[in-house]
């Protein structure tokens, strides 16, 4: 039994679970990680990583088609969908092997199988049952079982006409006509990929704008760009029905008071996620579940002593970096380290890797005003930046929102080339509680895209130089 007793057991090996296990091991805890399918979880195997590999192929393909704009010439430009997908799967496989190596390096016991809480201990934690294997026990147990795609009745993925993200990542064919239901990050990234490779893409969104969690001004710019690229966008839309034929799908949609019958080869559903709370032993416990997500306190504790939850199963935002950060907070809380700060939702960046890219952190202009702030707003366009012009990437904008009274950076919102890399500058600024004065005094290198971050701050206070 001694070999099956641990200081910490983590159920789920995604970006929350494996990071928690590694950090616990670093802090001297005997740790077991139980994963039923793939180390790295959905993010590494069927989400963040493989989609970025696909989008990189689409980006290179797009640039090749515009070689003449850079004074270059190229022969007939084409693509091999099978090889594009194979590269994407290879990237995921490489990183999964890396996660396996890190766990081994840190002496984490990795157990393959489906796990569930079997018996709780009044002192904390308890016993975890593993299908077909001996159970394990620990005074601390972290639930990191992640989430799965939400499925609407009538839109269940069938492996042929209707795809979830999994089928969309390994397409068996290049659809000539594609309908994407949902314009959040997942839906728009797939729309961007297939559109770049030549599909006629229609995006249907029930909200009144695409990328609805983003600043309204950024959403409007994104929609204009997507439509310029050839996408058809239907917002404030309601799905009325779907009919499958021998080789096509007809989807009835109502939008803007008008009915639309859209005939496509494939449909991708990207309408949110639900937490994997089933079959993990929550029944009869004091662990509270709301809308398929486990309720936790600011340090990831559930209603049962010694039981914690992190990542997608613990609620929005459903982001890998949020899960990893929660993992550190949770483990350091368990270890009793001093000054463990709870997660600040206002400092979590969001990134969408479509074309053009979108990134943000903090409050949008509208949300800041709704909270009662008097704001100062700065904007700076890509078309006024030397590096952007040299790159041939002049579409985009940097927008910053400040508290007019204190100079606090309330939010930053970007659309354009490489903004998913640039947003971290504002995240650091928010973490350090930087004011507009400190950002103005910061020296940004030239020529860079990041100079626009500086100019946007200056513009908020009427001091922009290059506009």
438: enclosing H helix or E strand: helix 436-441
Torsion 234-238-240-243 (CA) sign: positive
Tally Cβ neighbours within 10 Å of residue 267.
25
Per-residue pLDDT band for 3 (boundaries 50, 70, 90) equals confident
In the three-class reduction of DSSP (H, G, I as helix; E, B as strand; rest coil), residue 380 is classed as strand
Active-site residue, from 66, 293, 299, 446: 446
Per-residue pLDDT band for 1 (boundaries 50, 70, 90) equals very low
**What whole-number distance in Å separates Cα of residue 192 and Cα of residue 100?**
32
Environment class of 28 (CB within 10 Å of its CB; exposed 0-12, middle 13-18, buried 19+): exposed
Environment class of 120 (CB within 10 Å of its CB; exposed 0-12, middle 13-18, buried 19+): buried
pLDDT tens per residue across span 257-291: 899 999 999 999 999 899 999 999 999 999 999 99
pLDDT tens per residue across span 281-337: 999 999 999 999 999 999 999 999 999 999 999 999 999 999 999 999 999 999 999
**What whole-number distance in Å separates Cα of residue 47 and Cα of residue 323?**
14
**What whole-number distance in Å separates Cα of residue 444 and Cα of residue 358?**
21
Which domains does the chain show, CATH number per domain? 2-148+274-335 (3.50.50.60), 162-271 (3.50.50.60), 356-460 (3.30.390.30)
Q: Is 260 a catalytic residue?
A: no
Environment class of 451 (CB within 10 Å of its CB; exposed 0-12, middle 13-18, buried 19+): buried
Structure token pair of residue 159:
């492996």
pLDDT tens per residue across span 201-225: 999 999 999 999 999 999 999 999 9
pTM confidence score: 0.95
Q: What are phi and psi of 112, to 5 degrees?
A: -90, 130
In percent, how much of the chain has pLDDT > 70?
A: 100
**What whole-number distance in Å separates Cα of residue 143 and Cα of residue 376?**
42
Tally Cβ neighbours within 10 Å of residue 240.
12
pLDDT tens per residue across span 40-76: 998 899 889 999 999 999 999 999 999 999 999 988 8
Per-residue pLDDT band for 256 (boundaries 50, 70, 90) equals confident
**What whole-number distance in Å separates Cα of residue 167 and Cα of residue 151?**
14
- Can you list the positions of beta strands (E) in 74-125? 109-112, 115-120
Q: What average pLDDT does the segment 187-208 reach?
A: 97
Q: What are phi and psi of 197, to 5 degrees?
A: -90, 5
pLDDT tens per residue across span 16-50: 999 999 999 999 999 999 999 989 998 899 889 99
Q: What average pLDDT does the segment 129-154 reach?
A: 94
Nearest in space to 202 (alpha carbons), one of 224, 176, 226, 180: 180
**What whole-number distance in Å separates Cα of residue 320 and Cα of residue 264?**
32
In percent, how much of the chain has pLDDT > 90?
A: 93
**What whole-number distance in Å separates Cα of residue 387 and Cα of residue 444?**
13
In the three-class reduction of DSSP (H, G, I as helix; E, B as strand; rest coil), residue 60 is classed as helix
pLDDT tens per residue across span 406-424: 999 999 999 999 999 999 9
CA 49 to chain centre: 10
Q: Is the pLDDT of residue 2 over 80?
A: no
- What pLDDT is stored for residue 440 in this prediction? 97
Q: What average pLDDT does the segment 116-144 reach?
A: 96
Q: What average pLDDT does the segment 178-202 reach?
A: 97
Helix boundaries (H) for 31-78: 41-46, 48-65
Q: What is the mean pLDDT of the chain?
A: 95
Q: What average pLDDT does the segment 225-235 reach?
A: 97
Per-residue pLDDT band for 109 (boundaries 50, 70, 90) equals very high
Q: How far is CA 242 from CA 31, 149, 269, 395, in A?
A: 48, 19, 13, 36
């Amino acid at each position: 039994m001694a070999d099956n007793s641990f200081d910490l057991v983590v159920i789920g090996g995604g970006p929350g679970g494996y990071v928690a296990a590694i950090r616990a091991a670093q802090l001297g805890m005997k740790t077991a990680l139980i994963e039923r399918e793939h180390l790295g979880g959905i993010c590494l195997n069927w989400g963040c990583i493989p989609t970025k590999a696909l989008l990189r192929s689409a980006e290179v393909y797009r640039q090749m088609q515009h070689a003449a704009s850079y004074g270059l010439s190229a022969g007939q430009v084409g693509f091999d969908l099978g090889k594009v997908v194979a590269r994407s799967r290879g990237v995921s496989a490489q990183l999964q092997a890396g996660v396996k190596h890190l766990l081994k390096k840190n002496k984490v016991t990795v157990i393959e199988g489906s796990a569930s809480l079997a018996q709780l201990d009044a002192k904390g934690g308890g016993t975890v049952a593993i299908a077909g294997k001996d159970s394990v026990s620990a005074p601390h147990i972290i639930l990191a079982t992640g989430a799965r795609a939400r499925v609407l009745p009538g839109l269940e993925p069938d492996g042929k006409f209707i795809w979830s993200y999994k089928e969309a990542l390994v397409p068996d064919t290049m659809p000539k006509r594609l309908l994407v239901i949902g314009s959040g990050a997942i839906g728009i990234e797939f729309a961007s990929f297939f559109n770049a490779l030549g599909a006629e893409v229609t995006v249907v969104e029930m909200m009144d704008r695409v990328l609805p969690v983003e600043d309204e001004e950024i959403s409007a710019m994104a929609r204009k760009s997507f439509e310029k690229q050839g996408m058809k966008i239907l917002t404030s839309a309601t799905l009325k029905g779907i009919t499958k034929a021998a080789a096509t799908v007809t989807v009835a949609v109502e939008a803007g008071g008008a009915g639309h019958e859209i005939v496509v080869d494939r449909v991708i559903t990207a309408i949110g996620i639900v937490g994997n709370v089933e079959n993990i032993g929550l029944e009869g416990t004091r662990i509270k579940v709301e809308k398929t997500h486990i309720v936790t306190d600011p340090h990831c504790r559930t209603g049962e002593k010694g039981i914690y939850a992190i990542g997608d199963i613990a609620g929005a935002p459903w982001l890998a970096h949020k899960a990893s950060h929660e993992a550190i907070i949770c483990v350091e809380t368990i270890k009793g380290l001093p000054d463990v700060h709870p997660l600040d939702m206002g400092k979590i960046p969001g990134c969408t890797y479509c074309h053009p890219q979108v990134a943000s952190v903090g409050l949008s202009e509208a949300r800041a005003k709704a909270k009662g702030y008097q704001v100062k707003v700065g904007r700076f366009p890509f078309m006024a930046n030397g590096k952007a012009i040299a790159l041939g990437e002049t579409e985009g904008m940097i927008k910053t929102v400040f508290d007019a009274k204190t100079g606090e950076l309330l939010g930053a919102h970007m659309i354009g080339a490489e903004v998913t890399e640039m947003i971290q500058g504002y995240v650091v600024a928010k973490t350090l509680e930087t004011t507009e004065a400190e950002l103005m005094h910061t020296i940004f290198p030239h020529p860079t895209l990041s100079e626009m971050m500086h100019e946007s701050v200056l513009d908020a206070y009427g001091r922009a130089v290059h506009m």
